[in-house]
Structure 1
Amino acid sequence: MKIAIIYDVIRWEEKDLVRAIRELGHTPILLHVTSFFLDPNSKPPEIDVAINRCVSHSRAVASAIFYEEKGIPVVNSAYTLIVTGDKLYTTMKLISHNIPTPRTLFAFTKDTAIKAAEKIGYPVVVKPLIGSWGRLIAKAYDRDTLESIIEHREYMQNPQYKIHYIQEYVNKPGRDLRIFAIGNEVPLGIYRVSQYWKTNTALGGKAVCTELNDEIVELTLKAAKAVGGGVLGVDIFEDPKRGYLVDEVNGVTEYRNTVRVCGKDVSKMIVNYVVEVAKK
């Protein structure tokens, strides 16, 4: 089977997927989307299925749409990438499927953002709708801090920063969970441990392999289904009173550190899954 990898930046994961595709007896086709243009009137490419690994959200969505409309199954789908790439959309999908999440409000002006924060109670976390690796996420301890954060964002050119995603600050036990869903399976997950309130491994959080209980597996599958399914990284908080809360779902998730600490071949799991997708 010819399996394409759609990418814009080559990382460890993309290289390891090439290895897994070859070891499982398939042919990898590398599609570096910034190296060529896409012609809507062209013939469908000679590939059976594609794995979308673009770091850029806009490139991921655009390329997924293009290849899907050419009749090529793409993992993750354009729909899943659109939902998971937008924190507002993700939150709405999770809540509509009765999945527990941190208290979150949306606002379109500085004044209504302040009112939202006052309703939640300080401290609050302000997030951009689109972004990863913990970038541009800020914690506001009080109204003065929040006003400074919002004022700064409202002068940024990107209109996305003028939609204010205001979330309660969850007092985590120095860690959170990144759990992986691959189709209907939840094969592994990690704790991301840090003394800092942001636990992203990109910001220095330590990956520690975790055992999965039935509640985590069920919650992860529900969250994955809510956003369209596929290969997903589900971020879960442990709240001391409410238990597990799903914070975000990642549509192009990195897993190098997970492989390192858990010792499982995630790339082969992904390849086996996309082969089954192609057969449907």
Structure 2
Amino acid sequence: MQSVTSILLVTKTRHAAAESTAVSVARWLEAHGVASSTVSAAHPARELADRARAADVVLILGGDGTFVGVGRKLAGIDVPLLGINFGQVGFLTELSADDWQPGLERLLAGKMITRTCVLLAWELLRDGKTVAEGHAANDVVVGRGAIARVLPVRVFVDGEDMGLVRSDGVIVSTPLGSSGYALSAHGPLVHPDVRALTLTPISPFFKSFPPMTLPVEARIRLETAAPDGSLTVDGQEGLPLCAGDVVRVRSLEAGLRVLSRTTGTYYRRLRERGFIQTDEPTERP
């Protein structure tokens, strides 16, 4: 990537350790000739995007949830993201909160890899009109409401009727999101470099289809006749659904640019975070 002269620091909202570390990072960057500014992850999306456009890198100090939330706000912004982990899992955040300096040294030396990850664009239609729309870095879920009963969802992929799925809901996921809710619903793990979407029913009742990996160009349409469903985006934003609502999901042409130290960290992270349970790995030439 190009030389880094300016970095935007985005901190987890009301998180003292992240805010304190941001001060230390800003001082370190200044000593290395790099300008920086700091904002909260709660900053409005439009203002955050404007600040990001003026930077070479966005450094996110928080957990995976903060990383995903910021990524969703910056959908379509051609600036790479890098994370310092202050969460529990830290699957998406590349650097350690206790040892971030070596990672930033690699960044300034141009030794990091940039991945372009899939983002989703979603649209909610009611009576044929768009009433809400947005983006997702992990997943879009059409699920049941407060009452624990089966939710009927008719699923279409590229106009093909996949049938009426009676389940707790249906998940449309990116490769980044495949290690989250979709995995808990027995969906496949998908490498973040793979250009694909996954479609996963949640606890389906009787007839359904297995979790599917679809081409990234697939257009997905979810229709529900139930009066009490819900639309959830990245597990962070939610909207109630009415009978007859339609949710359309597709990939966004401009993906999310994410910085990584090496190509092999994904598999190591799967082992370290417990996604893969194996004996100690054997080194091979």
Please report the TM-score for the alignment, with normalisation by the length of structure 2: 0.31
More helix by proportion, 1 or 2?
Answer: 1
More strand by proportion, 1 or 2?
Answer: 2
Please report the TM-score for the alignment, with normalisation by the length of structure 1: 0.31
